[in-house]
Amino acid sequence: MDWEEYVSEIASDIVKEQSPKRLFQVRGKIYELLINCIPPKIVLKRLLFELLKSSLKSPWKASPKLGRKKCLKTD
C-alpha cells in the first residue's frame, strides 16, 4: 500500500469513530509512517488534506439548538 493511501485510510478511521481506542490506533499508524522515513510535516499535511476533503463530502449539519451565543463582555 502506498503511504498516501495509508494516510487516506487513517483519515477515514478518524472520521468513522472518535474515541480513545481509535486515537491509540491512529497514533500507531502514524508512527508506522514515521519509522518508514515519511517526513512528519508531509504526513500531517496529507492527513489534513484528507480530513478536509472528507468534511466537504459530508458537512456537519447545524443544530438549531446550538445557534449563535451572545458574547458577554466581562470587565
3-state secondary structure 3-60: HHHHHHHHHHHHHHCCCHHHHHHHHHHHHHHHHCCCCHHHHHHHHHHHHHHHHHHCCC
pLDDT, tens digit, for every residue of 12-65? Answer: 999 999 999 999 999 999 999 999 999 999 999 999 999 999 888 765 555 455
Which of 18, 3, 61 lies closest to 47, judged by CA? Answer: 3
| CA atoms of 51 and 74, how far apart (whole Å) | 36
CA 34/CA 24 separation, integer angstroms? 15
pLDDT tens figures, 57-69 = 765 555 455 555 5
